Chain A
Amino acid sequence: MVKINGKTEAAAGMTVDQYLETANYDSKRIVVERNEEILPREQYSETILRDGDVVEIISFMGGG
């Protein structure tokens, strides 16, 4: 299982690209952090999510 944005997901084995597509994220408007390291955009298609990974998918929101 992979923990993504605080939720446990059955995403192990998928590439980051595949996950973002399946989960309906706009990959141009987000940044992905895997195990507290930023994952460069060009690696989304080759990075495979592993059991136990902790992933954050981050974007801008309103704020002061």
Chain B
Amino acid sequence: MNDDKLMIGGHEFESRFILGSGKYSMSLIEAAVKDAGAEIITLSVRRANTKDQENILDFIPEGVTLLPNTSGARNAQEAVRIARLARELGCGSFVKIEIMRDSKYLLPDNQETIKATEILANEGFVVMPYMYPDLNAARDLVNAGAAAVMPLASPIGSNKGLATKDFIQILIDEIDLPIIVDAGIGRPSQACEAMEMGAAAIMANTALATAGDLPMMASAFRSAIEAGRKAYLAGLGRVLTRGASASDPLTGFLRD
């Protein structure tokens, strides 16, 4: 397992759990990062607060890679604008592209996402696009220079789990980039299942932010993701289409 690394845009990570930082107190971030074992944390880019308010950067442990998102963008142009601002903040060149035209379901606009990916990859960003799991769009993202592909499991913040399971599996099977399941994962068991399928990593935010004990849930997700990864690497046992197969030797002694 020790040489099993997650590679994104030439950067190497041990952890396969990408942590969100939205919708919970900044004071919990350090414990969440530690208990999640996370090496990447997502952030949003917004109008600044003044000095009298806390700044999130003061709460993120050193060495954690920042992954700013472009939430709020409704088209490629706005996403590019947000990404450039994020890079100017001086915390690296990773960006998670998030483009939504729809405020009810918050579904990503794949076409605009492909356009933004191409522009930002050409500018040297490590581009991680959030997308609706569609094979053709994923192939276009690869060609546009994405460093990973982040399909949604179910709508953002819904905690509904792997509603798009079959389509994520197609991406895992066909796309030669890390497939990171993002959005909708609500329980550790769902994260584990996605990892068993061969997902490269899991991104979760709401599942933790709405849990009773956030750091403990971060730790539960970490264990689930590690278990799912090990199961994937081990190769799952086969499933019978019908009937049974004894696990014990069939050479009984009670009857001849």
A and B form one complex: yes
Render A33-60 as a binary contact track against B, CB cut-off 8 A, 1 for contact: 1001010000000000000000011111
Cross-chain contact A63 with B69 (CB below 8 angstroms): yes
Choose one: B43, B45, B57, B84; the contact of A29 (CB below 8 Å): B57
A contact residues around B93 at 8 Å (CB): none
Q: How far is the CB of A62 from chain B (nearest CB, A)?
A: 4
Q: Residue B169 at the A interface, CB < 8 A?
A: no
Cross-chain contact A62 with B47 (CB below 8 angstroms): no
* Interface pick from B18-26, B118-126, B137-145: B18-26
Q: Residue B190 at the A interface, CB < 8 A?
A: no
Binding site for A on B (CB under 8 A): 20-24, 26, 42-52, 55-57, 66, 68-69, 71, 81, 84-86, 88-89, 91, 156-157, 183, 203, 205-206
A contact residues around B156 at 8 Å (CB): 64
Q: How far is the CB of B69 from chain A (nearest CB, A)?
A: 5
What are 30 A-B contacts with C-beta separation under 8 Å? A24-B51, A24-B52, A25-B48, A26-B55, A29-B55, A30-B89, A31-B85, A31-B89, A36-B81, A56-B47, A58-B46, A58-B85, A59-B47, A60-B46, A60-B57, A60-B68, A62-B20, A62-B22, A62-B23, A62-B24, A62-B26, A62-B44, A62-B56, A63-B43, A63-B45, A64-B20, A64-B21, A64-B22, A64-B157, A64-B205
Q: How far is the CB of A47 from chain B (nearest CB, A)?
A: 15
Q: Residue A8 at the B interface, CB < 8 A?
A: no
Which residue of the partner chain B has the closest CB to A41?
B88
Q: How many Å lie between the Cα of A30 and that of B49 in the bound state?
A: 9
Q: How far is the CB of A15 from chain B (nearest CB, A)?
A: 18
Contacts A38-B84, A62-B22 known; A5 to B47 CB distance under 8 Å? yes
Choose one: B44, B50, B71, B206; the contact of A60 (CB below 8 Å): B44
B contact residues around A59 at 8 Å (CB): 45-49, 55, 89
Cross-chain contact A63 with B55 (CB below 8 angstroms): no
Q: How far is the CB of A58 from chain B (nearest CB, A)?
A: 5
B contact residues around A62 at 8 Å (CB): 20-24, 26, 43-44, 56
